[in-house]
């Protein structure tokens, strides 16, 4: 199923089920469509939306704009718990494809926390599950890790703090190290700092 068709079916299903369960729901057209597109990109399933509504019944007439923030925050909390469990059990996992699934869960949680709209990294991680060659998967994971850190460096609220700490640490070497060596070392230390801040695992199945 292509993404556009999947989105249309998702929008249709969410609206139909909420209207069935909550007669006070009013679909507001373009505003709610934008919200549904965002939920779809975040991979928030219909049953999760209905669960949030059942636990927090709307009072009076409502649109998706009225529940959007609640649904997104609850989903972030849910993925955060999943990621914490995945991170805690990642090192003990011995089956490569289960390890890949745990990595996917952690990356998804971090992207949601940083409100990144581009989920192409998740899509590529998903495709790796269908690859049979572990060597090919490892090579692709190296590329994905660099792209992921580019996103983290751009969006993380800790980037400025980490960059300052790294540059202070490297200050004694700045004027006599070759620029390329300095730049590579700075990026490696910056990645390590952000790894600790966000709980990012190694992108490897080994």
Structure confidence by residue, pLDDT tens digits, 167-180: 999 999 988 899 99
Q: Is residue 86 part of a domain?
A: no
Three-class DSSP category at 25: strand
Specify whether 115 is located in the same domain as 71.
Answer: no
Structure confidence by residue, pLDDT tens digits, 36-55: 999 998 999 999 999 999 99
Q: Give the residue from 1, 81, 82 showing the smallest Cα distance to 40.
A: 1
What is the model's pLDDT at position 1?
44
Non-local CB neighbours of 131 within 8 Å, separated by 6+ positions? 137, 140
What is the model's pLDDT at position 206?
75
Count of structural domains, the chain? 2
What is the model's pLDDT at position 93?
79
Residue range(s) defining the domain that contains residue 2:
1-77
Specify whether 175 is located in the same domain as 152.
Answer: yes
Specify whether 185 is located in the same domain as 150.
Answer: yes
What is the model's pLDDT at position 129?
85
Instruction: Collect the ranges in the chain with pLDDT lower than 50.
Output: 1
The answer to whether 192 touches 145, Cβ cutoff 8 Å, is no
């Amino acid at each position: 199923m292509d993404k556009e068709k999947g989105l249309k079916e998702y929008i249709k299903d969410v609206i139909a089920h909420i209207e069935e369960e909550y007669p006070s729901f009013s679909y507001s057209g373009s505003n709610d469509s934008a919200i549904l597109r965002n939920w779809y990109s975040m991979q928030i399933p219909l049953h999760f939306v209905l669960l949030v509504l059942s636990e927090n019944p709307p009072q009076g007439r409502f649109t998706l704009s009225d529940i959007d923030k609640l649904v997104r925050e609850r989903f972030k909390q849910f993925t955060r718990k999943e990621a914490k469990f995945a991170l805690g059990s990642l090192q003990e996992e011995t089956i490569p494809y289960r390890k890949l699934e745990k990595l996917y869960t952690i990356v998804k949680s971090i992207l949601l926390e940083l409100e990144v709209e581009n989920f192409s990294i998740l899509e590529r991680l998903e495709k790796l599950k269908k690859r049979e060659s572990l060597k090919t998967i490892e090579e692709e994971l190296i590329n994905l890790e660099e792209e992921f850190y580019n996103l983290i460096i751009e969006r993380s609220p800790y980037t400025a703090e980490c960059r300052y700490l790294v540059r202070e640490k490297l200050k004694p070497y700045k004027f006599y190290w070759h620029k390329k060596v300095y730049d590579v070392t700075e990026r490696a230390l910056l990645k390590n700092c952000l790894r600790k801040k966000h709980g990012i695992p190694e992108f490897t199945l080994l």
